[in-house]
Amino acid sequence: MLTNHQIAERLERILLTVQKPGRYVGGEINQVVKDWDSVETRIALAFPDIYDIGLSNLGLAIFYEDLNARTDVLAERTYAPWTDMEAAMREAEIPLYTLESKHALADFDILAFTLPYESIYTNALNMLDLAGLPLFTKDRDETHPLVIAGGHAALNPEPMHAFIDAFAVGEGEAIFGEIVDAYQAWKKSVQDRPALLHQLAQIPGIYIPSFYETTYNADGTIDTFTPTQPDAPAAIQKRIVGKLPPPPTRPIVPSINTVQNRVAVEIMRGCARGCRFCHAGMVNRPVRERPVEEILRAITTSLENSGFEEVALLSLSSSDYTHILDLIRQISEQYKDENLRISLPSLRIESLSIDLFEMLRGQGSGGFTLAPEAATEHMRNIINKPIQTRQLLDVAGEIYSRGWTTIKLYFMIGHPSETLEDVHAIADLCKQVISEGRKAMGRKSKLNVGVSTFVPKPHTPFQWVSCDTVEQMREKQHYLRDALKVPGIKFNWSNPNETIFEAMLSRGDRRTADAIYHAWQHGAKFDSWREYFNHQTWQSAFAEYGLTSEFFTNRERSLDEHLPWDHIHTGVHKSYLAEEYNRSQSGTLTTYCREQCHACGILRDYRDLRAQYPGEDWKCPEVRSIVTDQTVSVQVEAAQ
C-alpha cells in the first residue's frame, strides 16, 4: 500500500486532468490535522457521494468535531470521487485516501460510512473497492479497518448486511464513543476480528449482521430471523441522547463552491406531527429542543470561525420550535448590520404566523417552500397532515404579498387509497395558489410544483402498504403535466423507475445485497444522479436473483408478516404503527403529540432517560416515577 507521501505525489500528476480538483485536496479552513503517530485510534469518516454534497452533511460534521475532541483519536474525511477522478485514480493506482493526511483508507482503524439514503449503496461499495479493501465483511479480518455504518438508511440494514461489519442504530453521538472504546480495548488484547465483533455486540444499539440468519417461507416472505451467536441480542434498540449536545461550531469552510455554504445549527431533533408517510418523523422521536442561548452562542462562534454569510436553523419542522420567534428576533437584532441571511428549511403551514413572516421579510426574495403533500382534505386525513385548503391559500397570499416571488409546493402521488380525483385536486390547488400570487404581485409571481411518488418506508405506519406501479405513476404524472401547463407554474416530477429502485432498496431484505453487488459489478454508481442511474442495470441485477417489484414494492403486506427490519427497534412500537395504519384507513386523524401523548412507545423504551432529563427540552410528557423492570406502565403528566 502506498504511503501518504506517495499518494500526495501521485495526486499532483492527475489533479490537473480532472474537473474541480479542489474537491480532492482538503486544506480547508477548520480541517483538523493531527499527528498520525500520536493517537491511538484513526477513523475515516466516509460519505458515499461527492464532496460538494457530503461536506454539508450535519451528521458527519458532528462526528468530525466530537471525535477530534478526543486526544486519543483522529478523524479524517473521505468522499466518493466523481467518475473522472475515479478513472484517473484507478489508472495511477492511487487508493482512496482521506483529505487531511492523504493516508489510504486501509491505514485506518475504523472506516465509518454515513448512509442517509439508499441510492448511495453502490457508491459505498465502490469506495471500499477503490480503497483496496474486500467488499464483503466475511472476507475482511483484523488486518483491515473495521467497517461500520449508520444513518437513516441503516435503519433497514439488511440490504447492506453483507458489506458492513457493524451498524450503529440511532444517534451517533450516543454510541460512537463506545465503539471507539471497545475498539481500543480489543486492540490492546491482540485478538482476532470475531472477538472485536463480539465485544461490539455487547454495546446497546450495535447490530452485527453476521451474527444473525434468516429463513424464508415458500412464498418468499421471512419465516425466522434469529441470532446465531448466544451474545447477540434478538432485537437492537435505537440509541438516543437524552439532551442534545452542544452543536459543532467549527464548520469546514470549503475552498470550492459546494451545494450549501452556510452555518447549520440543529435547533430541534424529532417531530411531533405524526405524518404517517414520514420516515424521519417516526424514527427521530422523541422531540428534543435546544435552548435559545445555546443556539445563539453556536451561531456567533460558528460565524466567527467560518466567515459564512448565512445560517440555517435546521430541524424537521423549524416553525414548531417553541421559541422560534424569539430566536429569529434575537438573531436579527444581533446581526442587523451584517447582511446575515437566515434560512428555515422546513416550515409547517399550520405553524406559520404573521409575526414569523414579518421577521423573515427581507431574508431573500427568492423562494419559499411549503409541503402540503396532498391536495384534498380527505387525503390529508389519511396521511395525517391536516392542513385546511383555505389556510394554505391564505399563507400563499401572505408570502407573495410580502415580496417572495416564488413558492415551491411539494406534493406526493401514490398515497394509500389515492384516487384520480386526489391527483386532479393537486392541479386545481396549484392553479388557486398561482392565482393568489397574481392578485398580490401580478405576473412576477411564480410557482414551482414538485410531485414525487410515495415510497412506503420502513418503521412508518405505511410500511405495510404497496407502492404505485410504474404504469400508475406514469398515468398520474401524464395528467399533471398536461393540467399544469399554466403560465407561471413549473412542474417537476420523479422518474418512476427511480422510485421503484428506491422502494426496492428501502424495503429490501438480505437477498437484496446480492443484487446491489451485481449492479455495482455491472457499473452502477451515483444512482441518485439522474445522468448515472441505469434502470437496465438494476433490472438485470434484481432479475438475476429473482427479486421482483411485485414482491417487494407492489405488494400489500399483512400486519402479521415478519418484515425485514423488525429486529431494529426505533422506540415507536410496531403495535402503534399498526394502530396508526388502521386509523389511516378510516381517515381518522391523530393529533399533534405535543398536545396529547399517544403512547407511541418512546416513553416506555426511554423512560429512564426521560426521567434523567426532566423539564422542557423533551417535548414528551414528564415521567413522574421510574417503574420497575417487571412492569411496563409509565405514569405520565398531561402535556401542557
Partner 1 sequence: MIRVRITYTKKGWLKYTSNLDIQKLWERAIRRWPIARGITPSPK
Binding residues for partner 1 (CB under 8 A): 15-16, 21-22, 24-27, 29, 253, 255-257, 261, 303-309, 337-339
Q: Which is nearer to partner 1, 8 or 349 (CB)?
A: 8
Q: Is the omega angle on the peptide bond into residue 416 within 30 degrees of 0, that is, cis? A: no
Least distance from partner 1 to the Cβ atom of residue 298, Å: 16
Q: Which is nearer to partner 1, 25 or 599 (CB)?
A: 25
Residue in the structure block whose three cell numbers are 480532492: 24
Give the DSSP letter of residue 277: T
Q: 496-506 and 470-483 helices cross at what angle (nearest 10)?
A: 140
Q: Is 220 exposed, middle or buried (0-12, 13-18, 19+ CB in 10 A)?
A: middle
- 155 with 180: CB under 8 angstroms? no
Write a three-state SS string for 324-384: HHHHHHHHHHHCCCCCCEEECCCCCHHHCCHHHHHHHCCCCCCEEEEEEECCCHHHHHHHC
Least distance from partner 1 to the Cβ atom of residue 56, Å: 15
Helices (H), 40-171: 51-54, 58-68, 83-91, 121-130
Least distance from partner 1 to the Cβ atom of residue 342, Å: 16
Q: Which of 470, 527, 462 is nearest to 495 (CA)?
A: 470
Q: Which is nearer to partner 1, 26 or 159 (CB)?
A: 26
Paired residues of 342 in beta bridges: 311
| Cα torsion angle, 60, 61, 63, 64, sign | positive
Query: Measured between alpha carbons, how far is residue 13 from residues 10, 166, 472 in Å?
Result: 5, 37, 51
Least distance from partner 1 to the Cβ atom of residue 307, Å: 3
Paired residues of 147 in beta bridges: 111
Query: How far, in Å, CA of 283 to CA of 274, rounded?
Result: 11
Least distance from partner 1 to the Cβ atom of residue 412, Å: 36
**Cα pseudo-dihedral 414, 417, 422, 426, rounded to 10:** -30
Q: Which of 639, 278, 241, 271 is nearest to 454 (CA)?
A: 278
Instruction: Specify the DSSP element, H or E, that contains 183.
Output: helix 172-189
Query: Measured between alpha carbons, how far is residue 222 from residues 159, 516, 541, 546, 562 in Å?
Result: 14, 20, 21, 15, 6
Least distance from partner 1 to the Cβ atom of residue 28, Å: 9
Q: Which is nearer to partner 1, 53 or 283 (CB)?
A: 53
Q: Which is nearer to partner 1, 52 or 320 (CB)?
A: 52
Q: Which is nearer to partner 1, 100 or 580 (CB)?
A: 100
Least distance from partner 1 to the Cβ atom of residue 94, Å: 15
Q: Which is nearer to partner 1, 255 or 391 (CB)?
A: 255
From the DSSP assignment, how many helices (H) and strands (E) are in the chain?
22, 19
Least distance from partner 1 to the Cβ atom of residue 261, Å: 8
Query: How far, in Å, CA of 204 to CA of 166, rounded?
Result: 12
Residue in the structure block whose three cell numbers are 472476507: 139
Q: Which is nearer to partner 1, 254 or 571 (CB)?
A: 254
Least distance from partner 1 to the Cβ atom of residue 1, Å: 22
Q: Which is nearer to partner 1, 26 or 157 (CB)?
A: 26
Q: Is 354 exposed, middle or buried (0-12, 13-18, 19+ CB in 10 A)?
A: exposed
Coil, helix or strand at residue 598: coil
Q: Which is nearer to partner 1, 258 or 376 (CB)?
A: 258
Q: Which is nearer to partner 1, 139 or 333 (CB)?
A: 333
Least distance from partner 1 to the Cβ atom of residue 16, Å: 8
Compute φ and ψ for 566, nearest 5 degrees: -60, -25
Least distance from partner 1 to the Cβ atom of residue 257, Å: 6
Least distance from partner 1 to the Cβ atom of residue 511, Å: 43
- 240 with 286: CB under 8 angstroms? yes
Q: 470-483 and 420-441 helices cross at what angle (nearest 10)?
A: 30
Least distance from partner 1 to the Cβ atom of residue 24, Å: 8
Q: Which is nearer to partner 1, 250 or 522 (CB)?
A: 250
Residue 525 exposure: Cα atoms within 13 Å on the Cβ side: 21
Q: Which is nearer to partner 1, 157 or 251 (CB)?
A: 251
Least distance from partner 1 to the Cβ atom of residue 32, Å: 16
- 2 with 94: CB under 8 angstroms? yes
Coil, helix or strand at residue 84: helix
Q: Which is nearer to partner 1, 306 or 318 (CB)?
A: 306
Residue 220, C-alpha cell as written in the block = 418468499
| Cα torsion angle, 422, 424, 430, 432, sign | negative
Least distance from partner 1 to the Cβ atom of residue 10, Å: 14
Q: Which is nearer to partner 1, 17 or 353 (CB)?
A: 17
